[in-house]
Chains A and B, each alone.
Chain A
Amino acid sequence: MESLIRELKEHLIRELNLEDITAEDIDSKAPLFGEEGLGLDSIDALEIILILEKHYGIKLQNSAEAKPVFYSVETLAGYIAKNRR
């Protein structure tokens, strides 16, 4: 799980072009979206859907399912571990 979290953070930094942020700076439990966490928005959500699809073979269809999954790096990693192919 630790290595998956680290790998996921690196995908996020690269694909979302997070300037001046290292994997260490991202709190795995902090919210990805909204003011208090990383401050991602709806376009980032689309980019994360692509990360899941490209790197882990996971196709997310409805956004209702996505909401709790996209809460933090930890929830995302948990979902990937369960559903990856």
Chain B
Amino acid sequence: MCYIEAVATHLNLTHDIKEVVPDATLRRRMSRIVKMATATAFECTGGVPGIAELDAIVTATGLGCLADSERFLEQIHRTDGQMLNPTPFIQSTFNTVGAQIALLAGNHCYNMTYVHRGRSFESALTDAMLQLKEGDACRVLAGAFDESTPTQHHIMERMGFWRGAEDGEGAVFTLLTATATSNSIARISKVEFLPSPLSERQCREKYAAGSGTRVWRSLDKTVYPCCSAMRFAKAVEEIRKGAPEVVVYNDYFGKEPTIIVLQCL
């Protein structure tokens, strides 16, 4: 159990990247996804002072900074590993976004990145909630991001993934606290990894507290490793609009199912 104080997605950014990252040296190396995710984290925390107050930063990504990984791979093959530009290699690491957020505000706190495919965001939420529970942290920023690239899309198309599913990308961050504050908007009552898939009816039977509970099992056709984070953000919005409880069921192409249960205060 923990409380949600804020949620931001890349779709509702109000700050330009130059405001978010005034340091040109830091900014000019950032790829599109790193800029997008960092700006989303900034939006969620209300900027540098909010980041400086965090006790933990936990990020999640299924495929990481793909465009930079591809750029570096391409260079390796074109040059036989000689005369490589270091920038895409440096920026390709999965913890780049978490590190950039810490760098922005000089925050030395716990910093972690989970990369477990469709369960990346849920792993990050679990870590955040356990830290809040153990009293190691009072304010935790948890977030997820994934980018789509033409290469990844094409390779997955060749693998046959896009029959009945659509590719996507996004960045979502949420600010979590151990106790309710005057700014709390909802609470997370459960995050679970399920041993096997559940139908919508089974989800309702097992997780819904009452008849007013919304159960979201197949909200849309979009599939990317951290797409559950976007559904989580939508569910928080649903609570804000008056829903008492939302159960979000997610899986990645039918595998590794998870549950997130959100409740009103």
A residues neighboring B (CB under 8 Å): 15-19, 39-41, 43-44, 46-47, 50, 53-54
A18 proximity list for chain B (CB < 8 A) = 24, 28
28 A-B contacts (beta carbon < 8 Å): A15-B85, A16-B28, A17-B28, A17-B29, A17-B87, A18-B24, A18-B28, A19-B24, A19-B27, A19-B28, A39-B24, A39-B25, A40-B25, A41-B25, A43-B29, A43-B86, A43-B87, A43-B90, A44-B25, A46-B86, A47-B85, A47-B86, A47-B87, A50-B83, A50-B84, A50-B85, A53-B83, A54-B83
Chain B positions 69 through 86: 1 when the CB is less than 8 Å from some CB of chain A, otherwise 0: 000000000000001111
- Top 10 nearest A-B pairs (CB, nearest first) are A17-B28, A46-B86, A19-B28, A39-B25, A50-B83, A53-B83, A41-B25, A43-B86, A54-B83, A50-B85
Chain B residue nearest to A45 in the complex (CB) = B86
Q: Whole-angstrom distance between the alpha carbons of A17 and B103 in the complex?
A: 20
Q: Whole-angstrom distance between the alpha carbons of A41 and B103 in the complex?
A: 15
B83 proximity list for chain A (CB < 8 A) = 50, 53-54
Interface size on B, residues (CB 8 A): 11
Q: Whole-angstrom distance between the alpha carbons of A47 and B84 in the complex?
A: 9
B residues neighboring A (CB under 8 Å): 24-25, 27-29, 83-87, 90
Chain B residue nearest to A44 in the complex (CB) = B25
Chain B residue nearest to A39 in the complex (CB) = B25
Chain B residue nearest to A21 in the complex (CB) = B24
Q: Whole-angstrom distance between the alpha carbons of A17 and B83 in the complex?
A: 18
B24 proximity list for chain A (CB < 8 A) = 18-19, 39
How far, in Å, is B192 (CB) from chain A's closest CB? 42
How far, in Å, is A56 (CB) from chain B's closest CB? 13
Q: Whole-angstrom distance between the alpha carbons of A5 and B90 in the complex?
A: 29
How far, in Å, is B177 (CB) from chain A's closest CB? 36
How far, in Å, is A31 (CB) from chain B's closest CB? 14
19 further A-B contacts with Cβ under 8 Å, apart from A19-B28, A43-B86, are: A15-B85, A16-B28, A17-B28, A17-B29, A17-B87, A18-B24, A18-B28, A19-B24, A39-B24, A40-B25, A43-B29, A43-B90, A44-B25, A46-B86, A47-B86, A50-B83, A50-B84, A50-B85, A54-B83
Chain B residue nearest to A47 in the complex (CB) = B85
Q: Whole-angstrom distance between the alpha carbons of A39 and B86 in the complex?
A: 18
Chain B residue nearest to A53 in the complex (CB) = B83
How far, in Å, is B255 (CB) from chain A's closest CB? 39
Q: Whole-angstrom distance between the alpha carbons of A39 and B26 in the complex?
A: 11
A16 proximity list for chain B (CB < 8 A) = 28
How far, in Å, is B115 (CB) from chain A's closest CB? 24
B28 proximity list for chain A (CB < 8 A) = 16-19
Q: Whole-angstrom distance between the alpha carbons of A43 and B29 in the complex?
A: 10
